[in-house]
Each structure stands twice: as C-alpha cells, then as structure tokens.
Structure 1
C-alpha cells in the first residue's frame, strides 16, 4: 500500500479522535465532529475540481470551463431551491445528506477507475479522488451515528449503486468525472452550512426539536424533483444546451 493510500487514514485519525472507553458520544459532540470533517472537506473541493480539469486536456482545461447544466441522473440532485431545502424537517435533511455522501463515495470510486484508465502514467488526480472518497465515507458514517442516536432509520452502509450512465469514449468519461467532482463540492458546501447551523446551537442538544413524527419522515420525494438541462445517459450527452454561465439554482444563495 502506497503513501497516498495511508495518508488519508492518518488524516482521519487526527480529525476523528477516539473517545475514552465507556464515554458515549453525545449528539452535540457527534455533530461537532461531523462538522469539523465537513469543513476540512470543503477546503479541498475547489482544489480537487481545478486539479481534475487541468489533467483532462482541452476543453476541460480551458480557463473558465463550466457546464452547470450537465448532470448525472444517479447523483444526488443539486437543484433544490434554498427555501425548499430549509423548509424540510431536520430529520429529512439529515437523511438526504447521509444518503448523498454514501452515493458520492461510490461515484468517486467510479471516477477513480476512469482516471486510472485515462491517465495511467499520472496518479495525481486518482490519489486525490481516493482521499476524498475516504472522507465522504467517513462523513456518511458520522451522519449515520447521529441518526442512530436520534432513532432515525439508516440505509445499508454499502447500498448498490445501480446502473450509472456510462460512456465508452475518453470524452464521455471525463464529462462523468467532472460532474461527480463538481456536485461533490456543491453537496459539501451544503452539509457545512447545515451542520454549522446545528453546531452553533449552543446550550442545547442539536436536533433536540426532532419529534416522533420527524423520526419517521422519509425523503423519497427528493428523487421526484423535476430537473432540466443536459444529462449523461446511455453514453450520450442529451438535452437542450443552456447558457453555460448560468449558475445552479442552489448556488444563488451563499447560505444554501
């Protein structure tokens, strides 16, 4: 095992210090731990996207490259408006966030395999993707711990990914990796804001207001959100191209 695989484990060991035996972690401590990890992830996402694009050649490496309308149907959607997101019960937002980072841990593995084939002589991008995948799995584990403490149901740790839109050409694989890395950054921004709100609730246990009804809340409606734009599906880029400079709806607010 190379250093690039050992380093993330050392990093997480620093970010997630073990508790003394017999000392159960409170919800507030769990939220703080997850928040600290999410903050660290947020400091890396911009660099990760830039590094990814720089190693994919033109047009990806061109200055100001951006295709905000390009999406993958198997990724957690990013188009929910700020007001709609904040109108959800905390239990639902927690469940959606947990599911999102489980999904990203699997999609990042797919991007790693693609990069190994696309750039076999340059492991820089592959190494960074490995580190981010480990962090995504770690954050999903932290969120699952919070949900268990609150009595919320959690899905299996390794649910099947299902069929991901595949592309046989190098360009299609690069498009897929771009969308995975970009949306991973968007979700990281969202979880930092969400956990930051909970962590800032000093003097009371975060999520204390969760009622029994919230504990049974399901977030299946999330996947039924109508989404428009370009999609990677069946190895093709389909849809109507819109203005590449138009920002994603959840980026309209700095607090989303």
Structure 2
C-alpha cells in the first residue's frame, strides 16, 4: 500500500468517525464482542456469511474488541467489509468508542474508571532499558496503554514481577508470542466488555465473546458464552477446557459464527427444558 492510498483511506475513515453508522442493529437483544485480527478477519467468504447473519435482523449487535487503535480498527473493518459495530473496544481494552447523539466518541466514563491508580510515567521509568523488552512505536503508546515487544513469555513474567516489586498496580498482557501491553489494573477487554454490556442494559447471558489470542484471554474467561475460533493460538489453548468456552471447528469469522450459533442453540434448548419442567 503506497502513501497516497493510505492517506486517502485514512481521510475516508476520519470522515466516518463523526458520522452515524448505517449498518447493524441499534437496539440489540444480544451482543457479540469479538476480536478482529484472525478472529473475524482471515477469510473473505467467512466474513460474507457472518455479515449475512447479522443483517437478518436477528437481534445480534456487533462490538469489536481489538488491540489496534481506533483509527486502525476502523480501517480494518472497512477493508474487510465487516458489519459496522455498535461500539469499539480498542487498544487492548484501554479505550471504548461508542455512539452518542449520532457520533462515535471516546467513553469518558470508562476512561475515568480505569484511570484510578494508573501511573504511566512511573511505568516508563521502571521499564526503561529492561532486558528483552523494546518499546513499540510512539503511535502504539496510548493514554492508558504502554506497549512493547518482548523477547519471550519469561520476559513478560519478569516485567509483571518488577512492576509488583515497585508497587505499581497494572495489568500485563502478553500475546502473539511477542507483544506485551501494560494497562491500568481496571482495564482490559473483559472490563470493557462488561462496561459496554451495561451501557446497552444487556443481561450477562445475552453477551457472547470470540477471540483467538492471549489478549482475548480475560474476555473469554469472563464471558458465559465464549468462543475460541478454530485457528486460535497455542497461548490460549488451555481455555478450551472451560465449560463456558466453545471451541469452533471452523476458522476466523466462520468459527465465530459457528460458536455464536452453538451457544445460542444451547441456550434455547435449556430454556425449552425449563419450560417443560415448569409445565
């Protein structure tokens, strides 16, 4: 992709940010909170099936939960022709963008909630020149996120221990065998998922979550209806043993759709059984 193409795409996304999304369910009865990279992306035909499902007015609304920044997430959704999300959980659950008065805006209430105890300057100081840890580019450093490339999972464990020893309360998220993010202790994809669900007055049982990697772990562990797509990373394989997690046979968006339908079908079956007992 050359600079002109990228700049034109960026300008298009920026113009969309202040406009109201045209697709999707504005008053959903269920929410699917899903990672983007390699969970919804990866297979064009799978995306088409996933999009057809959400367009059938079945009450499901999409919320994306990604490690990417808001602008980059918007670009990816546009490039893959995914349905327009009702809300955007970005930067590993350290930011939420949600529609208010027809515009997508940063959720200040969530920002205030996770700001408690956050000390980014102290983190920068403590982790400077840390062995095996390299800061990512400046654009990846957010108000509530410090991002690095780590040489191994052992480095991630050492970072967590160093922060603890220094009395710094923070979450360390390691994913894709090399990416390390430091977040406020109250942040993360799980916390953001609960915040968005509360915004939509969504019952816990009506929230579904799909993911494939380490930065999805807290979200999948905290969701009653969790989905591991078939192409999930080895770093989250242990989640397959949890009763709330459905492991899809299919990959990418097809796997997310498979898991969503499987959980939904199981819910309806349990409801039918309860109704029969009541009779």
Q: TM-score if structure 1 supplies the norm length?
A: 0.29
Higher RCO (CA-CA < 8 Å; seq separation 6+): 1
Q: Which has the higher helix share?
A: 1
Q: TM-score if structure 2 supplies the norm length?
A: 0.28
